[in-house]
Structure 1
Amino acid sequence: MSKTVSSDHIIGILPARWGSTRFPGKPLHLIAGKPLIQHVWERCLSADMLSEVVVATDDERIFHAVEAFGGKAVMTSPEHPTGTDRLAEAAKHLPHATHILNIQGDEPLIDPTLINELARALLDDPSLHMVTAANPLDPGDTAVADPNVVKVVLKKNGHALYFSRSPLPFFRNPVEGLPVLRHKGIYGYRRDFLETFVTWEPSPLEKAESLEQLRALENGASIRVLHTEDTSPGVDTPEQAREIERILSSSSNQV
């Protein structure tokens, strides 16, 4: 796939690792007859702000599967400590990329409109280092206390103030209209910022929370957070894969 957006080249990169404690080989797990990674790739093709979509993998089985369904893949080292490091290595294979979107390779229902909105935000504000997204949570939702669900609070200008696995904010006092926001794991970067980011040592808050984006905040970067109603589920277990297949089958029957 190759699309042109003025002189800017916004590349969507889908990280796809073979190793997973809960779900080994997840990217190639068949859902409705297609590998999981193919579903994500096809959704990204509908985002017309992307000049190209590329899968970054550490496994030749995934690499060859992507090529077999007509996609583009690049091999990356299996030794990367973080997903951002993998992203930066993949970007070296794409020297024409001016902006890079890190799109989770396990979200087969990701909304192409959200991808376009993140890309547009990067183009509209050249001073912006990073952009990401968050959707509202009911303060009473069990996800608020779930450490696997990352929360974010914002500055008045819509940029991230802090991310945490803990309840955030902690409502010692009720505040009308103050939202609880669930962070979605999708990021957009200016290329030069991504290259700088991976030269920084892991920061104290990053290591405490195990959240890479805190390294950016601790080093003074600006991260704009877009509000979205996209609550598309990811796939972390075989059970979740079966639920995605049910959703896709239901959608096909309604067409």
Structure 2
Amino acid sequence: MSVLVAIPARYASTRYPGKPLVSLKGPDGDKTLIRRSWEAAMAVAGVDRVVVATDDDRIRTHAESFGAEVVMTSPDAQNGTERCAEVAAKLPGFDVVVNLQGDAPLTPAWFVEDLVKGLIADPAADIATPVLRCDGRGLNGLLADRRAGRVGGTTAVFGAGMRGLYFSKEVIPFTGKTYADDEATPVFHHVGVYAYRPAALAAYPAWLVGPLEKLEGLEQLRFLENGRHVLCVEVQAKGRQFWELNNPSDVPVIEAMMAAMG
């Protein structure tokens, strides 16, 4: 199975303009978000090619400066999945296309490796995406974001065979109780990585944006709204902390996590 990893990166983010070029301080010094995301992709075993997908010359110039391959995509792409579909059309012949979003530099390599294995093992699945069971600390972080009016992480619910039922920026399912920091909860944090079969990815841009995708602003809902099989693959943290950079306030959170991990 040949695997292509595309890292969508756009400058004109509504919530955080210029986000891919934001500097993050870690034990290895200051590096931009897009560079750390590229390094995370390069650490994944079994990947044949890694590219940064962008429509912005500032991101292209910076990515090429640290050795990344860049594929330029249309500024009209509505989300990372549409950008990945453009990349797949320009670079055909891969069995699996992975979307490792450029705002998740803490994504462990085994998240992506397990995701690809899960998609290959389930021939009914059109797309696979990882989910991580929240402990009390993680759940409280998600709830704190919502109480403060911040758009934090996304949560997922799934049914038999780990088939995705819904994804939301609200915290679902409702639990109605408090959990200790290290206690397992029934809430799953959706990790913003996707593995697509090329046929499903190629079909995606032609589908209309449905009401759920429009309300939530979550690209994976377009697959559900068009009756496609979305496989949720549970991944294990193995002691690693995970957080996405969605807002400026996430920068010190991610830097603290990098410092703690060394």
TM-score normalized by the length of structure 2? 0.82
Evaluate the alpha carbon distance shift between residue 98 and residue 246 of structure 1 in structure 2; reply closer, same or farther with a 3 A threshold: same
User: Does 1:179 pair with 2:172?
Assistant: no
Alignment of 1:1-255 (within 5 A): 8-31=1-24, 32-138=29-135, 141=140, 143-144=142-143, 146=146, 148-171=152-175, 179-230=186-237, 231-252=241-262
Evaluate the alpha carbon distance shift between residue 69 and residue 178 of structure 1 in structure 2; reply closer, same or farther with a 3 A threshold: closer
**Matched residue SS, 2:170:** coil
**Matched residue SS, 1:47:** coil
Deviation at 1:195, TM superposition (A): 0.6
Contact 1:49–1:119 (CA under 8 A) maintained in structure 2: no
Evaluate the alpha carbon distance shift between residue 94 and residue 169 of structure 1 in structure 2; reply closer, same or farther with a 3 A threshold: same
**Matched residue SS, 2:87:** helix
Deviation at 1:113, TM superposition (A): 0.6
Contact 1:137–1:144 (CA under 8 A) maintained in structure 2: no
CA distance in structure 2 between the partners assigned to 1:30 and 1:141 by the alignment: 27
Bigger shift: residues 141-150 or 18-27:
141-150
Identity of aligned residues (%): 36
CA distance in structure 2 between the partners assigned to 1:75 and 1:122 by the alignment: 27
Deviation at 1:149, TM superposition (A): 3.2
Deviation at 1:60, TM superposition (A): 0.8
Opposite residue 113 of structure 1, the aligned amino acid is: W
* Unmatched 5+ stretches in structure 2: 178-183
Evaluate the alpha carbon distance shift between residue 102 and residue 249 of structure 1 in structure 2; reply closer, same or farther with a 3 A threshold: same
Bigger shift: residues 78-87 or 56-65:
78-87
Contact 2:104–2:192 (CA under 8 A) maintained in structure 1: no
**Matched residue SS, 1:48:** coil
Q: How many residue pairs align between the two structures?
A: 242
Contact 1:55–1:72 (CA under 8 A) maintained in structure 2: yes
Opposite residue 188 of structure 1, the aligned amino acid is: A
Opposite residue 155 of structure 2, the aligned amino acid is: K
Bigger shift: residues 117-126 or 146-155:
146-155
**Matched residue SS, 2:120:** helix
Evaluate the alpha carbon distance shift between residue 212 and residue 25 of structure 1 in structure 2; reply closer, same or farther with a 3 A threshold: closer
Deviation at 1:211, TM superposition (A): 2.2
Summarize deviations over 1:26-62 as a string: whole Å, max 9, x none. Answer: 2122332322211111121111121111100111111
Contact 1:118–1:226 (CA under 8 A) maintained in structure 2: yes
Opposite residue 194 of structure 2, the aligned amino acid is: Y
Contact 2:114–2:235 (CA under 8 A) maintained in structure 1: no
Opposite residue 160 of structure 1, the aligned amino acid is: G
